[in-house]
Amino acid sequence: GVTDIVDAPGSGEGLVGAAVDATTDTCESSGDAWVASGTVTNPTEVAVDYRIYVSLLNGANDTRGLQQVNVTGVEPAATGTWESSIAVDDSDLTCVLRVERYPAAGE
């Protein structure tokens, strides 16, 4: 599989699990890559940063691809967009998100 992450999951200070903040609008094969996209909506009263880990899983739940996407400076009650493109040419994969919310840098 393909792994493209900068930060180990769960490694940041002030981490809050935030799967409920995220939606996946697209998860589909596009040529020799899988493209996923969606939004995050900040439910808090302060600006936040998100780390989204997009995993591509096959039918046996084996990870075929993993990519980190950062969405920074999402203001209170605002929505940010995210997109991932992972160079995996497998078929019949499922996108699964791990979403982490942190206080915005400088906050």
- From first to last of its 107 residues, what are the pLDDT tens digits of the chain? 789 999 999 998 999 999 999 999 999 999 899 999 999 999 999 999 999 999 999 999 999 999 999 999 999 999 999 999 999 989 999 999 999 999 998 65
Q: What is the pTM of this model?
A: 0.94
Cβ-contact 56, 95 below 8 angstroms:
yes
If you compute the radius of gyration of the chain from its CA atoms, what whole number of angstroms results? 14
**How wide is the angle at C-alpha 105 spanned by C-alphas 103 and 107, nearest 5°?**
65
